[in-house]
Structure 1
Amino acid sequence: MTNNKIIEEIKAEISKIIVGQEDMVNSILIGLLTNGHILLEGVPGLAKTTTVKTVADVIDLKFKRVQFTPDLLPSDIIGAQIYDMKTSEFKIKKGPIFTNLLLADEINRAPAKVQSALLEVMQERQVTIAEDSFKVDSPFLVLATQNPIEQEGAYTLPEAQLDRFMFKIVVGYNTKEEEFQIAKKVTSSKKEDVNKVINKQSLEDLRKEVESIHIDEELQRYIVDIICATREPKEYGLEEIADYIQFGASPRATIDMFKAVKAMAFIRGNDYVSPLDIALIIKNVLRHRIILSYEAEAMQKTTDEIIQKIMEVIQVP
């Protein structure tokens, strides 16, 4: 079976449960192919949790879900050292972080201590409990959902943590036809079961294929120009948005773009990166990494609008 056929079969199995939401599904697959964490933002009821669970089933990965709440403790996620009364010894009880796909549900409802507990494992793929460090399973991805910050009890995530997410996907409502299909599917007496398409080893093989995807040097420089334009917009003739940006995207954004465009080309069945691959994912990579100024917020500007303006000005090679 060719790699493109494998991706199509994975998507076909996911579509048995999930109707529409192609951008979310593609982004999760790119995250799996590149070891990139994904942040999913949207109102409740848009199948964010169901999508992650379905992907885990199709790729035969371990899956755990943690509901983030204001009273959550770091030990509830990473584990703790506990005293065993029978043996009169301390032992390590590992938390739900030891899995392949960790669904951090409503991540922006938890306190700062819990947010910081995730930082080490997201970057280093290891956790520290008591005095010992433990590697998490491979592959390991945090797939976090968050509510729009306008909702009660939701807070903005720290910039350092946001930067560790490869993508921020804004999950919107389904179309009217998709909504009709969802209602029919959910209320039907016939329940669909998904089949496992690949396993961990097959996923590792696909990752190696993604790494070999060709990206031309001109396109690499084009990506770097886009990132640099978020930091120094005036140097690229973007004076009109200069006052709207407080901080531009970090070097991690450039690294994630290089990885993600290769995976996007792979998912689309190509063995090389095209400008279209960049256009398809640029907002997902940058929207959470550009910090807007007070002027931008006062003018109700969004990071998506800033990225769009940059894309319009910088010449495609």
Structure 2
Amino acid sequence: MSQPELPIPTVSERCQQVLDAVSGVVVGKRGALELVLAGILAGGHVLLEDLPGLGKTLTARTFAQALGVEFRRIQFTPDLLPADVTGSSLYDQRTHDFTFRRGPVFTNLLLADEINRTPPKTQAALLEAMQERQVSVEGETHLLPTPFHVLATANPIEYEGTYPLPEAQLDRFLLRVSFGYPESEEEFDVLRRRMSRRQEEARVAPVVDPATLVAMQRSLEDVAVEDSIGRYVVEVVRATRSDQRVLVGASPRGSLALLLLARAKAVLDGRDFVVPEDVKDVVVPALAHRITLRPEMWLQRIDPAQVVAEALATVPAPASAALPTYTG
């Protein structure tokens, strides 16, 4: 039995309840948490890239609890094999046949912890799961459950012994989010809450369930995007390709990611239409990890986020109220 259609105001209210529950554990990062939820709402995968100890793993686990979905974690290490992620066929002596034993990727929310510490072969095993929502083992295809999302963490330091994600896999992440250090009062609030609950682990009650989450994701199709906004998205992405500091600009997949995230941002704000501000709010997380700078730019400490922000500034925001032609 399919979940009934949810109106946009209801979806927005549920999203705020999820954010309130997660914010009760992850302190002072409301903006970053909104981006993570927008990525999940848009049906994508999220890369959490930041320094150790800033709450990346805690964020993934708490979102799984608030969304009421099954959660599993894989600690990526240099000796991790593809079968450790996808599963493998084992010989059953009772039936004298091989049976497939599912790996941890068969879940709703998968935390790929320190994904850049595993070899490319294992990263590639996760790539099919992220893109196709399925895994292939010994010629057989196994579908993953719905919903399925990957929240991967990566450290921007300690590159020795790591395997940087190839551009093809980075492009599969709908957005990249960083938390940054908390303010002084926020950091004290972390200590105060830890002393108050008198235990290490913090748990939150489920706000929704998997079926409701899928219905919330389907509601994004009701968010209107007028032609001027669509062309604005395209021009912003094209501006990253024409920048002289960029070796490879964002692909059309980046345009789709920007569109989907703008839709999700509109829903979080309780609207059934996208405005230019929605695009501006998500453009850096959606595109910064999709561009490759020229080698000499790294020596000048040019940040891809800075390049995307400057590309956005060169494109005038639309002001028309034209109806979207795709509805015709």
* TM-based fold match above 0.5: yes
**Separation (CA, whole Å) in 1 of partners of 2:180 and 2:160:** 19
Give me the CA root mean square deviation: 1.5
Decide which of 158, 161, 173 is 2:181's aligned counterpart: 173
Answer yes or no: is 1:227 the counterpart of 2:237: yes
Does the 8 Å contact 1:36/1:141 carry over to 2? Answer: yes
Partner of 2:19: 11
Partner of 1:215: 225
Partner of 2:321: none
Bigger drift between 71-80 and 14-23 goes to 14-23
Does the 8 Å contact 1:149/1:155 carry over to 2? Answer: no
- Offset at 1:23? 3.1
Does the 8 Å contact 2:36/2:177 carry over to 1? Answer: no
Answer yes or no: is 1:137 the counterpart of 2:145: yes
Q: Report the AA paired with residue 113 of structure 1.
A: K
- Offset at 1:251? 1.0
> Partner of 1:287: helix, strand, or coil?
helix
**Separation (CA, whole Å) in 2 of partners of 1:217 and 1:209:** 20
**Separation (CA, whole Å) in 1 of partners of 2:197 and 2:253:** 47
**Separation (CA, whole Å) in 1 of partners of 2:47 and 2:85:** 18
- Offset at 1:311? 1.5
**Separation (CA, whole Å) in 2 of partners of 1:203 and 1:87:** 39
Query: Size of the alignment, in residue pairs?
Result: 308
Does the 8 Å contact 2:229/2:276 carry over to 1? Answer: yes
1:197-245, CA deviations, whole angstroms, 9 ceiling, x for partnerless residues? 1112211221222211112211110110011111224xxxxxxxx1x11
Cα distance change, pair 149–112 in 1 and its aligned pair in 2 (3 A) = farther
What are the within-5 Å matches in structure 2 for residues 242-257 of structure 1?
Answer: 242=244, 244-257=245-258
Partner of 1:295: 296
What are the within-5 Å matches in structure 2 for residues 23-172 of structure 1?
Answer: 23-172=31-180
1:48-77, CA deviations, whole angstroms, 9 ceiling, x for partnerless residues? 111111111111100000000011000000
**Separation (CA, whole Å) in 2 of partners of 1:32 and 1:171:** 17
**Separation (CA, whole Å) in 2 of partners of 1:294 and 1:65:** 35
Q: Report the AA paired with residue 209 of structure 1.
A: S
What are the within-5 Å matches in structure 2 for residues 265-304 of structure 1?
Answer: 265-304=266-305
What is the percentage of aligned positions where both structures have the same residue?
39
- TM-score (normalised: structure 2): 0.90
Partner of 2:264: 263
Decide which of 205, 208, 211 is 1:195's aligned counterpart: 205
Bigger drift between 103-112 and 290-299 goes to 290-299
**Separation (CA, whole Å) in 2 of partners of 1:53 and 1:37:** 15
1:138-180, CA deviations, whole angstroms, 9 ceiling, x for partnerless residues? 0001110001044443332101100000001122111111101
Gaps of 5+ in 2: 1-8, 319-328
Does the 8 Å contact 2:23/2:30 carry over to 1? Answer: no
> Partner of 2:150: helix, strand, or coil?
strand
Does the 8 Å contact 2:119/2:163 carry over to 1? Answer: no
- Offset at 1:299? 1.5
Bigger drift between 139-148 and 82-91 goes to 82-91
> Partner of 2:46: helix, strand, or coil?
strand
**Separation (CA, whole Å) in 2 of partners of 1:128 and 1:116:** 12
> Partner of 1:188: helix, strand, or coil?
helix
Cα distance change, pair 3–35 in 1 and its aligned pair in 2 (3 A) = closer
- Offset at 1:270? 1.7
- TM-score (normalised: structure 1): 0.93
Cα distance change, pair 214–249 in 1 and its aligned pair in 2 (3 A) = same
Q: Report the AA paired with residue 223 of structure 2.
A: I
**Separation (CA, whole Å) in 2 of partners of 1:74 and 1:201:** 29
